[in-house]
Structure 1
Amino acid sequence: MATTDRLERLITDEVGECRASDVDDRLDDLRALEARASVADGDESADLDALSALRSDTRYRLARLLAAADGDLCVCELEPLMDVSSSAVSHALSTLADAGLLSRRKEGKWRYYDATERADAVLEALDATRGGDA
């Protein structure tokens, strides 16, 4: 169990004194906040997977390209735009699809990818909160 020494000092600084009931009340408020901020374990894992998938420059660029495209693109259309091997592009696309940021379909020997609504929303949120002239 974590210590509450620092919390007690904060409460003392805020109100001039700190009683055990003040700490208990603040902890109850903080636990209620934690409950409101939490998501189901599976959802948390999916969120972290999506954010982690965008951490790579290659995956981030691919997600941006597909979100900007009007419809899906074939892997062969994406490869010339990337500065990595064909297998790295395929692996990156697979990671993004597994994270729920891309949809994929196969047509004969060709594989096509498209940004999902989740990818669009994440990238739009980044754009909207970047600041400056973005």
Structure 2
Amino acid sequence: MAETDRLQRYLEDELGECRNEDLQRRLAELDELESVLNEETISHDIETLSALGNETRYRLVRLLVEADEELCVCEITPLVDVSDSGVSHAFSRLVGAGIVTKRKDGRWRKYEATPKAVALLTVLDGSR
């Protein structure tokens, strides 16, 4: 009840007056808007963003996006100041988040940025 009282006061300020139908229409619009907050989507998005929230993982994704091709882990490891196990762990997290794909080619592991990674870094680049 307190939430609708506050919303009613807000609508009165915005509209000059607030009839019951104004309040009901706005409540319906807010209910519809709330549907974008489903747990599965939020969980997935947070996993994606948190996968980039580490310097090593971000550097690896940045390298792959800039390379614009698949790279062998043996080509990537010398470019970052991280142990082989650290690189492996970072890639595991990135693959799990759908930001990087992994392919085995005999004894070699090759990684490539996904379109999701390209889109995320493009947005970051455009925000500077």
Which ranges in structure 2 are unaligned for 5 or more consecutive residues? none
- C-alpha displacement of 1:97: 0.8
Partner deviation per Cα, 1:2-48 (whole Å, 9 max, x = no partner): 7223312211211233343322111112223334xx28754543333
CA distance in 1, matches of 2:24, 2:91: 49
- 2:122 maps to which residue? 124
Summarize the Cα distance change of 1:50–1:109 in structure 2 as closer, same or farther, 3 Å threshold. same
Structure whose residues are more often helix by fraction? 2
CA distance in 2, matches of 1:15, 1:71: 55
What letter corresponds to residue 87 of structure 1 in structure 2? S
- 2:13 maps to which residue? 13
Asked whether the equivalents of residues 64 and 70 of structure 2 are also in contact (C-alpha less than 8 Å), the reply is yes
Matched, 1:50 2:44: no
Alignment of 1:104-123 (within 5 A): 104-123=102-121
Q: How many residues matched?
A: 128
Matched, 1:31 2:31: yes
- C-alpha displacement of 1:68: 0.8
- 2:75 maps to which residue? 77
What letter corresponds to residue 100 of structure 1 in structure 2? G
Asked whether the equivalents of residues 68 and 113 of structure 2 are also in contact (C-alpha less than 8 Å), the reply is no
- 1:89 maps to which residue? 87
Report % sequence identity.
52
CA distance in 1, matches of 2:61, 2:119: 12
Secondary structure in 2 aligned to 1:3? helix
What letter corresponds to residue 13 of structure 1 in structure 2? D
Greater Cα offset, 26-35 or 99-108 = 26-35
Summarize the Cα distance change of 1:107–1:2 in structure 2 as closer, same or farther, 3 Å threshold. farther
Over the aligned positions, Cα root-mean-square deviation in angstroms equals: 2.2
